[in-house]
Amino acid sequence: MKVLLLIAISGFIIWMYWSALRDIYLAFKGYGMKSRLKKLEKEAVSDEADTIIKAGKKRNLNHFGKLINRASSDTLRELSVIDFQSPLIEKLARQNQDNPRARFLYGNALIEEAWRVRTGAEGKKVSAKKGQTFLDLLREAELELLGSYEMDRDFTGVYAPLIRVEMGSGDREKAQQIYNDGRRTVPDQMDYHLSMLTLLTDKWLGSDEELFQFARENADRVKTGPLKGLIVAAHFEKWLELEGLEADEYFSKPLVQEEVQQAFAGMENQPKGEGFNQQFQRFLALNYFAIAFQFMGDKKTASSIYKEIGGNHTYRPWANLGLNPGLAYMDYREKVLKSS
């Protein structure tokens, strides 16, 4: 009996020891990954955006407002997609209701806050209190974004966040109207197409049939460019619905692989573009292609895509693969780069 007790105690001590070592290793690994991610992201941010980000950390509202007003539309777009946060954004928007730039940035910040409140859970799993806060924030964001849009119809960055607002609010008709406006203005811009594609998933306001029809019709109407990535995004959304063996084997299906490869061939022939917005549209597609080729086992292609992306990771698909999208991106990226 004493021998068994000693064995049990020894086993427990060994388990505690290895658990502590594992936790230390994971902590160092996480710290190193965060440092590498921060370096990549810093290299990807433009000088003008970096200047505004630094100004946003201070209290000089007047100086901050001047920088926002002087910024190029590309920089404004850049700030909206890197989750730029500053208390000065709200102050600037509230004190300058006739400033479309301030209202756009504030509306975008409200959307991000809304989704943080919702914590990424399915609608049925969100508490009544959180659900109401989520909807209130979306309604406020909609007012800011529509106000910005009415004052500056030339800024095309407003379509994607507005569709996200209507998706969260459950208003498919409004989302369709915004999408139609986008098609008339910038028919080949990827971001609002991706927002609409997400809305058309079965878990939101659509179905598998609508999802793939939308992706294929829009990818087929262009010879080359980011819209080819809608095919991969649709397959990724479908993969998210699956579990177990079905999920494990999904990207091994010959028809799925063929469609992904054909879509990427259309992307490869596209010029990389100039300015943040054009490059961002391309990166939106490339982030999906990177994970798709990785799941397909094509490390060579995935590696080349990851290298091109660098610090320009997008919110999706990585938000679906980890609590921190940036760290999820780095985790998948480093697995490929180390093994290829």
Taking only the tens place, the pLDDT of each residue in 108-127 is 999 999 988 887 555 566 78
Q: Exposed e or buried b for every residue in 45-68, given b needs 16+ CB within 10 A?
A: bbebbeebbebbeeeeeeebbebb
Q: Are residues 127 and 194 in the same domain?
A: no
269/127 Cα distance (integer angstroms): 47
Mean per-residue pLDDT for 172-196?
A: 96
Quick check: 24 pLDDT over 50?
no
DSSP state of 32: H
pLDDT at 121: 56
Angle at 124 between CA 121 and CA 129, to 5 degrees: 80
pLDDT above 70: percentage of residues in the chain: 86
Quick check: 168 pLDDT over 70?
yes
Q: Are residues 259 and 304 in the same domain?
A: yes
Within-domain flag for 85: yes
Q: Are residues 258 and 172 in the same domain?
A: no
Q: Are residues 127 and 200 in the same domain?
A: no
pLDDT at 5: 56
pLDDT at 53: 92
Write out the residue range of the structural domain in which residue 311 sits. Answer: 188-340
pLDDT at 232: 98
Most distant CA atoms of the chain, gap in Å: 82
Q: Are residues 296 and 169 in the same domain?
A: no
- For 188-238, how does the pLDDT look when each residue is reduced to its tens digit (9 = 90+)? 999 999 999 999 999 999 999 999 999 999 999 999 999 999 999 999 999
What is the value of pTM for the model shown?
0.86
pLDDT interval class at 29 (50, 70, 90): very low
- For 248-284, how does the pLDDT look when each residue is reduced to its tens digit (9 = 90+)? 999 999 999 999 999 999 877 666 667 888 899 999 9
Q: Are residues 59 and 135 in the same domain?
A: yes
In 3D space, the residue among 163, 242, 244, 236 whose CA is nearest the CA of residue 196 turns out to be: 163
Mean per-residue pLDDT for 99-107?
A: 95
Q: Are residues 171 and 182 in the same domain?
A: yes
CATH assignment of the domain containing 73? 1.25.40
pLDDT interval class at 334 (50, 70, 90): very high
Q: Please give the mean pLDDT across all residues of the chain.
A: 88
Within-domain flag for 17: no
Q: Are residues 115 and 206 in the same domain?
A: no
For the record, the structure tokens of 126 come out as: 């969100």
Answer with the one of 152, 186, 220 that is the final residue of a domain.
186
Q: Are residues 165 and 209 in the same domain?
A: no
Within-domain flag for 14: no
pLDDT at 42: 73
pLDDT at 323: 79
pLDDT interval class at 82 (50, 70, 90): confident
Quick check: 93 pLDDT over 60?
yes
State the total domains in the chain: 2
Q: Are residues 165 and 143 in the same domain?
A: yes
Q: Are residues 90 and 219 in the same domain?
A: no
Answer with the one of 186, 208, 227 that is the final residue of a domain.
186
- For 141-151, how does the pLDDT look when each residue is reduced to its tens digit (9 = 90+)? 999 999 999 99
Within-domain flag for 34: no
